Structure 1
Amino acid sequence: MTSYIEPLAQESTPSIIADKLRLAIGHGELKPGMQLGEADLARKLGVSRGPLREGMQRLTQEGLLVSIRNRGLFVIDMTPEDVRDMYLAREAIERAAALQIILRGDHEAAGTALAAIADRMTGADGDPAAVGELDIEFHELLVRLACSPRLSRMHQTSITETRMCIHALEETYLATDARAVEHLRLAEAIRTGDAALTEQLLIAHMDDAVQRLVNR
């Protein structure tokens, strides 16, 4: 298993530390509900406690960590209500991104690039973990192609929370993974510049994920 809690290869900054911790949370190395120990993390990252506290404070502000009085700092635990709220935010961000792509006239190239990822998902059928990573890659690219730094910044936290849910989602899919087909349809709707269909497919895609997670 890849470890994201390891000595930093470059000068330590709160931003780099926050990125490392965000990856560790998203990939399950720091698990939901887990308490974080400053001394242990500082040792593993090879940093002093000052920058570490600043990095952890950034993730607290993002909502990925929570401080409990007289107990310490913990990774959030995704309740059904949290899952619904997270996908509500993701849906709003990704619908805005897709509309921006279409309005800018970049939809044909964007749709082609997104379809290429969906094709790789088809090739990874039978490997839920690989399909899950490509799923994330698809949606990160979708928002990035909108060329909006603020949308991308807002999307970052919800994508980390999505990664936290990936393993729970994997077991809800059959051997023939439906996600590749869903993403191909979405990519084609974007490619053709069909804003109404794109919105419809994004809403259905998010609703399906929520239902799988909260009813598993």
Structure 2
Amino acid sequence: MPLADIEPVNRESTAGIIARQLRDAIMNGSLPPGTQLGETELAARFEVSRGPLREAMQRLVSEGLLRSERHRGLFVIDLEPDDVYDIYTARSAIERAAAIRVMHGDREQAATLLDETVQAMAAAADEDDPTALSEADLRFHEALIEASGSRRLVRMARTLLIETRMCLSLLQRTYQHVDERVVEHNRIIEAIREGDQETVLTLLEAHMEDAVQRLAPGTPLRQ
């Protein structure tokens, strides 16, 4: 087919809209791990037939966010210790590679972008808004990877976004003082500004290790 004959797609399909809303609900914890999704209830809530609903849920099954149990239905995945380990191992590898590229690029520009996300974290902490805090936390790590200028690292990280957000929803309950998270991220920024690559990498690894220990005690990041 000639490219000239391809028409732009301007409207998101019903199944796509449903999948996006369910994905967001899983990310922000509105649909916690282990939740069973009932077709009848969801079809009524979305005011749609079961056809597009089933298509949307199958998308999330293929993405690994829902699991199917025979004769029982569909459930939001549970994050087992091995899952947490895998997520943070993958993130550690991606963010380490991104940080090295950042340290050989415009460190000040990267640090300025990261500052903005930490300011948002601090504001959320002051307002006692754990959801906004987790969003800003995630944005910090996205900004770090984007600052690397590597499209491949950005694509790789994107596949971990939803599972990471699920982890952060659980992680926020483990901090007695939410400003601990702000301090951790500020230390990384300081090391970037100082050009101390070894410290940046050490802090990132410690940050990931701490998250794993909070979510899956006894599961070391390094094995």
The answer, yes or no, to whether TM exceeds 0.5 is yes
Runs of 5+ in structure 1 lacking a partner? 1-9
Which structure 2 residues correspond to residues 36-185 of structure 1 after superposition, within 5 A? 36-103=37-104, 105-125=105-125, 127=128, 129=130, 130-175=132-177, 177-185=179-187
Q: Structure 2 CA distance, aligned partners of 1:197 and 1:163?
A: 26
The question of whether the paired residues in 2 share the 8 Å contact of 1:125 and 1:177 is answered with: yes
1:91-140 residue CA offsets vs partner (Å, 9 max, x unmatched): 1222222233334x233211111022223333443526043232122122
Q: Structure 2 CA distance, aligned partners of 1:14 and 1:150?
A: 28
Q: 1:176 to 1:42 in 2, by over 3 A?
A: closer
The question of whether the paired residues in 2 share the 8 Å contact of 1:115 and 1:188 is answered with: no
Q: 1:144 to 1:44 in 2, by over 3 A?
A: farther
The match for 2:28 is 27
The match for 2:7 is none
Query: Which deviates more, 197-206 or 148-157?
Result: 148-157
Q: Structure 1 CA distance, aligned partners of 2:70 and 2:178?
A: 46
The question of whether the paired residues in 2 share the 8 Å contact of 1:107 and 1:191 is answered with: yes
1:12-54 residue CA offsets vs partner (Å, 9 max, x unmatched): 3544433222110011221211122233323323444444333
TM-score (norm 2): 0.78
TM-score (norm 1): 0.80
The one-letter code matched in structure 2 to 1:79 is E
The question of whether the paired residues in 1 share the 8 Å contact of 2:28 and 2:169 is answered with: no
The number of residues matched between the two structures is 206
Q: Structure 1 CA distance, aligned partners of 2:20 and 2:193?
A: 32
**Highest CA radius of gyration, 1 or 2?**
2
The one-letter code matched in structure 2 to 1:171 is R
1:206, CA displacement in angstroms? 0.5
1:199, CA displacement in angstroms? 1.6
Q: 1:177 to 1:83 in 2, by over 3 A?
A: same
Q: Structure 2 CA distance, aligned partners of 1:14 and 1:146?
A: 34
Q: 1:131 to 1:29 in 2, by over 3 A?
A: closer
The match for 2:18 is 17
